[in-house]
Amino acid sequence: MRKDTVMSSNATAESIPAPVSLDARTLFATFAGLSASLIAIGLARFAYTPLIPSLIQMHWFTSSQAVTLGAANFAGYLIGALAGRPLASVLSNRTALRALMAIASAAFFACAHPVSIGWFFSWRVLSGISGGAIMVLVATTILPHVPASRRGFVSGMIFLGVGLGIAASGTLIPHLLHAGLRNAWNGLGAVSLALTALSWFGWPTSHPPAAPSTVEREPQGAGLAVRVLYVQYAANALGLVPAMIMLVDYVARGLGRGASVGAGYWLLYGVAAIAGPVLAGKAGDQLGFGRAYRYALLLQALAVATLAIFANPFAIGVATVILGLFTPGIVPLVLGRIRELLPEDHNRQRASWSRATTAFALFQALGGYGYSYLFSRFHNDYALVFACGALVLGAAFVVDRFASHTRRADASH
């Protein structure tokens, strides 16, 4: 009896797979992915926001021009999201990612010399292209080479680069600006170039393994739910753009508190962004990703509305934290929701994520230019821009509630 128990215990122990440790090559690839998202999204996009007050005060650009140039990165991001896979098919994933990181680094140095609006605009577009293409390629390049049991950890580390970039921009920019606006751009370029060089040999040398084909039927009602998710994700882009572009400028000039205070709020935004993906993933596991994303839409709508209505520093701080959490945090929520709607169908999951990302990028670009027009047309009215973002997020929440009710009604019949 005792012998049988011992044998059963041994068999059970043997059936539990031992934790898989990541080898040096995989860790190096993870560092490369983190560096890529940090440079091309965390810094290339978000470091521009705390620089806007100085760009205006140093008379490099007018306020409306500065906002328009910020939106140029969004337009480039859309181009990059569409061009990433074709580019990799021509150059290989490894070569494409190296080139994209180098272009993003070069854009910082180029922006240190405002030769003209066209020059600056072109380099901001190129930095956006790098960000969009890297977002499409980075995970699909690295994760297929990672043991299945560790892909969640590695994926989190890659997306962590976005939050680290936001936090780094809030930390570095105030110090770099002490040496002048031109040196601030050059400093960002130096950091990016160093990370590009350090991660140069970290990318996997082989192509990702081909994904197995699946023939699973789409669950009943999933098609409508996925299309609703595209609409929600596009609306989420419209809701987040005002804070992405204007938060620091709103605090610094709109409320008259200065660039250093504005940069402090941006640092708070970045610290929250570091925690966002982890907290959002846990919320999705506990509540279900559909419900968690619904709550995320509501919280974001309230946060952006707070920026439109209140000037209280504490209220703005709370709103900043919420928006910082969800700027990268919505990514695992939407990915998890796609997996819920299309379980075990990896091909459709990838196709749906591609469409969702394109929808986000498109409306992010449209929102950037639309808000830029409103901002200049209505005499730098920050409250109007934030109110529009809050209304869009609120509408997305209402659409989700209506769609959920419709699905339940259909299921009951």
Determine the pLDDT at residue 236. Answer: 94
What is the SS3 string spanning the chain?
A: CHHHHHHHHHHHHHHCCCCCCCCHHHHHHHHHHHHHHHHHHHHCCHHHHHHHHHHHHCCCCCHHHHHHHHHHHHHHHHHHHHHHHHHHHHHCHHHHHHHHHHHHHHHHHHHCCCCCHHHHHHHHHHHHHHHHHHHHHHHHHHHHHCCHHHHHHHHHHHHHHHHHHHHHHHHHHHHHHCCCHHHHHHHHHHHHHHHHHHCCCCCCCCCCCCCCCCCCCCCCCHHHHHHHHHHHHHHHHHHHHHHHHHHHHHHHHHCCCCHHHHHHHHHHHHHHHHHHHHHHHHHHHHHCHHHHHHHHHHHHHHHHHHHHHCCCHHHHHHHHHHHHHHHHHHHHHHHHHHHHHCCCCHHHHHHHHHHHHHHHHHHHHHHHHHHHHHHHHCCCCHHHHHHHHHHHHHHHHHHHHHHHHHHHHHHHC
Determine the pLDDT at residue 131. Answer: 92
Q: Per-residue pLDDT for 216 more than 60?
A: no
Query: Mean pLDDT, to the nearest integer, of 367-382?
Result: 82
pTM of the model: 0.75
Q: Per-residue pLDDT for 215 more than 50?
A: no
Q: ∠255-394-366 over CA atoms, to 5°?
A: 75
Determine the pLDDT at residue 39. Answer: 92
Task: Dump pLDDT digits (tens) for 21-70.
Answer: 777 888 888 899 999 999 998 898 888 877 888 888 888 888 878 877 87
Task: Dump pLDDT digits (tens) for 143-185.
Answer: 778 776 666 667 767 878 888 887 877 778 888 888 888 999 9
Judge contact between 374 and 381, C-beta under 8 A.
yes
- Average pLDDT score over the chain: 82
- Band (17; pLDDT cuts 50, 70, 90): very low
Domain 24-203: which CATH class?
mainly alpha
Determine the pLDDT at residue 369. Answer: 78
In angstroms, the CA 243 to CA 250 distance is 9
Residue 10 or 330, more confident = 330
- Band (10; pLDDT cuts 50, 70, 90): very low
In angstroms, the CA 177 to CA 12 distance is 61
Q: Per-residue pLDDT for 97 more than 90?
A: yes
- Band (318; pLDDT cuts 50, 70, 90): very high
- Distant-in-sequence, close-in-space partners of 80: CB < 8 Å, separation ≥ 6: 100, 128, 129, 130, 131, 132, 133, 134, 135, 136
Determine the pLDDT at residue 266. Answer: 82
Query: Mean pLDDT, to the nearest integer, of 176-197?
Result: 91
- Band (19; pLDDT cuts 50, 70, 90): low
Poorest-pLDDT segment among 51-60, 337-346, 388-397: 337-346
In angstroms, the CA 398 to CA 407 distance is 14
Determine the pLDDT at residue 207. Answer: 57
Domain 216-413: which CATH class?
mainly alpha
| Gyration radius of the chain's alpha carbons | 22
Residue 228 or 49, more confident = 228
Query: Mean pLDDT, to the nearest integer, of 338-360?
Result: 77
% pLDDT > 90, the chain:
28
Start-end of CATH 1.20.1250.20 domains in the chain = 24-203, 216-413
Determine the pLDDT at residue 173. Answer: 81
- Distant-in-sequence, close-in-space partners of 364: CB < 8 Å, separation ≥ 6: 74, 77, 78, 237, 238, 240, 241
